[in-house]
Amino acid sequence: MYAVIMAGGKGTRFWPVSRERKPKHLLDITSERTLIQETVDRIRPLVPVENILIVTGRSHAAELIKQLPEIPGENIIIEPFGRNTAPCIGLATLHIKKRTREDVMVVLPSDHLIADEERFLHILAVAAEMAQRGDYLLTIGIRPAKPETGYGYLEQGDLRTIIGGENIYEVRSFREKPSHELAKTFLSHGGFLWNSGMFIWKVSTILEAIKQWLPDLYRGLLQIECALETDGEDEITEQVYREVAPISIDYGVMEKANDVLLLKGEFRWDDLGSWDALWEMSDKDEQGNALWRGGDFIGVDAGNSFIYSPRKLVALVGVEDLLVIETEDSLLICKRGSSQDVKTVVETIEARGRKEYL
């Protein structure tokens, strides 16, 4: 079995702590280990380290090699630039095919929080067994704890089979990130799960699905495959990436394909997609305030707020539901519940050419 860890992106929703040079997955947000280190640690009991591949951008490769000395250098796959998850997964699949021709691969994001790792590994092992049995595209659905608008949803279909005591269901439909009202409907319905962004399939299965549903990408992947381990590999890869359309594997393949199956991820999971998510998982005082990484804080009639300020005393008076994030060069103050919109701040900074803050 192989594992592919997708380590791209800018982590814009964690600005100003997360920056282009050091996005979220390279930060030690939940422990003394960075999120990418935790992801590798988590999968190692199931997948040998020589079979763990990490796809990243040029600007982050050196830091990844520094943080993950156990990963062979040839397992760090460089994308010329980000083109969303379908090209990323396609490129990694070619490298696995070059080594093994056929095997099961697990695709994981680099920046998720997962507790109950034994349960997590059992679910992946069962999914891998199912993938080995046929041309199935499998994903992991998470039971929703609230009407979350920041996630996509999976509609659970009929029971297909049971392996290792785990039910495996058909996926009836994929749903994009919903409005709050629609998310509440999904929650009350009971047949909808959060889309975790984790996938399991055989090499041949995903390549055939890309060939069918994303033929332009598939033609580009064929060009790259012919150039692997030649002097022209980097040039051809960059040329293909310039021409291919950015598209997610969900929208490009999973929403259209047949034999898409899911297992329920009955373990604690969070994609840590925002400062709100970090407030929710943090220890809080009697007023509901969370102080991340220590610091100095005084609250007077202030509650349910998240504070990160390692350099300055923060005093909140007569306010609630705030996110206060201070770094050496920036200060973010945001109403809790709106942190998904922090990415708009980053987009505005970029549009104004203020690269020193990116």
Q: Is the pLDDT of residue 10 over 80?
A: no
Q: What is the pLDDT of residue 294?
A: 82
293 φ/ψ sector (left φ>0, alpha ψ -120 to 50, else beta): left
| First-last CA distance in the chain | 37
Please state whether the predicted TM-score (pTM) of the whole model is above 0.75: yes
Torsion, Cα of 37, 43, 48, 54 (10° steps): -50
Domains annotated for the chain, with CATH where assigned, are 2-272 (3.90.550.10), 276-357 (no CATH)
To the nearest 10 degrees (0 to 180), the angle between helices 233-243 and 215-227 is 170
| Segment 213-271, tens digit of pLDDT | 999 999 999 999 999 999 999 999 999 999 999 999 999 999 999 999 999 998 999 88
| Segment 273-301, tens digit of pLDDT | 889 989 998 999 999 999 998 889 999 99
| CA dihedral (35, 39, 44, 50) positive or negative | negative
